[in-house]
A = this chain, B = another copy of it.
Amino acid sequence: MTATAELRVGLCGLGTVGQSLVELLAVNAAAIERQAGRPIRLVQVASRTPKPGVDLQGATFSTDTQQLIGSSEVDVVVELIGGEGLALDLSRATLACGKSLVTGNKALLALHGEELFALARQNKAGIGFEAAVAGGIPLINALVSGLGGNQIGWVAGIINGTCNYILTAMTEDGAAFDAVLATAQELGYAEADPTFDVGGIDAAHKIAIIARLVFGVPINFADVPVAGIEMVSAEDIEYARQLGYRIKHLGVAAGERDAVGNLIAVDVRAHAALVPQDRLLAGVGGVTNAAMVQDNAVGLSVYSGPGAGGRPTAAAVVADLIRVAQGTLPTVPAAIPSEVTGQSVALKALEDTEAAFYMRIPVLDKPGVLAEISHLLSEQGISIESLIQREQAVRDAQVPIVVLTQAVAQSALNRALATIAASPDVVGDIVHLRVESLL
C-alpha cells in the first residue's frame, strides 16, 4: 500500500447531521481539499440501525462502532450519536487509541469534558467540538483562535434555537407559550419532549463548554444555574417591550477578576433575560443563534448564524476535520487553578451575583398595594428603576404591578420575593427575570 496523504474519516451516527456530513464531504470536496492541503475521505460509517436509503458516497457501513474505531483504515472518528452512554464509551475508545475525535455532542462535553480533554492530552489526540456549540457559527474557533490572546470578560449567547424560535414567535404574534410550542413541534423546531431545550438544559451545556474553554477552569455542571422559558408569558414580552427590552433565552459566562486582571470567580448560567432592544442580540430572531463576546482588546464582538440544522452543523464538523488534516486542531489545556490563590476558581452561586430585575407581581386592585410593594422592596435595599401599573378597563380583582429594579444582589431580591409573595394582596405567582445589559 502506498502512503496516502488523505485523511480517512470514520463516522458514528447517521441522523440528520450525519447524513448532511456525508453529503457535504462529497459536495465540497474540492474546497475542503484546497483548505486542508489534502483530501478528506469518508471511509466508514457506523450506526446502530442501518439506513438503507442513504447514499454513503462509497464509504462502508456497519452497525459495529467498536470495529470502526479500532480500524487501521480510520484516522479520525466523528461522533454524531449524541447523549452519554454509547457516545461516551466510543469517545473514550477513540482517544485511548490516539485518534482524534470530532463531536457535536454538548451533553458529553459539558458532563465529561474534563475526563475527555485529559484523555486527549495523554494520548496526543485532539478533540474538535465546533459542532457542539452554536452549530454552524465558527464560535469556538473565534474564541480560541480569533480572540485567544485576549482576556475575555464575558460571553452571552442566544444558543438554543428552539427557545429563540418560541420567544420570537411570542413577540411577533403575541401568542401564548403553549400555542407556539405546539407550532414549533409541528415544524420540527422543537422535540416531542421539549424539556431539554425549553427548560434551558441544552443552552446550559453549551455555555458550560464555552466557560471551560475561555476561562480555563473546570465547570461542575451540576452547579450551573439553569432556567428555561416556560414561565415567560406574552404579557411579560409586551411589558418588556414597553420598558425598552426584548426577552431572550441566554447562556452567560462571565469572569470576575481582581484589580490586576486575575480570575477569581466564574459566573455561568442559562435563563431567560431582558436584553435592551438596541443591542444586536435583541434583533436575532427565529432559530438563529448569536453570541456576544466582551474582551479587553477587541471590546465587543458578535457572531451570528444558524445554531442547528444538518448542513450548518455538518459544516462545523468539516471545519474541525480540516484542522485535524492540517494538524492545527488546538489542544484544550488542563484546567488551571486560579492565578491568585493557586486553588480552583469558584463557580459563583446565583445568590452572590448582582443584576437589575424585571418583576411582574399580580396583586389585588386596591389602594395602598403599590406603596406596600415599594416598601417591601426598599426594606431589602432595592431601588425601582421603572414601574408599570396597568389600568384595568373593566373592574377586576387582579392587576399586575411590573417593576424594573436597579442592580441588586440576587440574594436581596430573593428575600424581597419571599416577603412580597407572603403579602395577602399578592394573588398569584410572581415572575422575575434578569436584565442583561450586554455592555
Contacts and interface: CB of A to CB of B under 8 A. Distances in A.
Given A299-B312, A300-B305, A302-B303, A141 B146 contact: yes
Interface stretch (A315-323, A374-382, A386-394, A413-421): A315-323
A86 to B, nearest CB: 27
B138 A146 contact: yes
A302 B305 contact: yes
Nearest to A139: B146
Nearest to A318: B149
Interface stretch (A28-36, A159-167, A238-246, A341-349): A28-36
Interface string A6-41: 000000000000000000100110111011100000
A357 B274 CA distance: 38
A136 B333 CA distance: 25
A98 interface: no
Contacts of A328: 145, 326, 328
A148 interface: yes
Interface string A337-362: 00100000000000000000000000
A284 interface: yes
Interface in A287-334: 290, 295-306, 309, 311-312, 314-316, 318-319, 321-323, 326, 328, 333
A142 interface: yes
Give the most central of A27, A149, A311, A326: most B CB within 10 Å.
Answer: A149
Given A138-B142, A142-B146, A304 B306 contact: no
Contacts of A284: 280
Number of chain A interface residues as a range: 35 or more
B319 A149 contact: yes
For A301, A309, A314, which residue has the most chain B Cβ atoms within 10 angstroms? Answer: A301
Given A149-B318, A319-B145, A306 B312 contact: no
Contact of A315 (B24, B150, B326): B150
A34 B321 CA distance: 24
A216 interface: yes
A164 to B, nearest CB: 14
Contact of A145 (B145, B147, B280): B145
A313 to B, nearest CB: 9
A151 interface: yes
Contacts of A316: 298
Contacts of A31: 148-151
Contacts of A261: 27
Contacts of A36: 149
Nearest to A298: B136
B322 A148 contact: yes
Among A130, A295, A315, max chain B CB count under 10 A is at A315
B304 A136 contact: no
A301 B312 CA distance: 10
A265 B255 CA distance: 47
Nearest to A283: B283
Given A32-B149, A322-B148, A306 B315 contact: no
Given A216-B34, A280-B280, A318-B297, A147 B151 contact: no
Contacts of A119: none
15 contacts: A27-B261, A28-B151, A31-B149, A35-B149, A136-B297, A149-B321, A280-B283, A280-B284, A280-B304, A296-B311, A297-B318, A301-B303, A301-B304, A301-B306, A304-B304
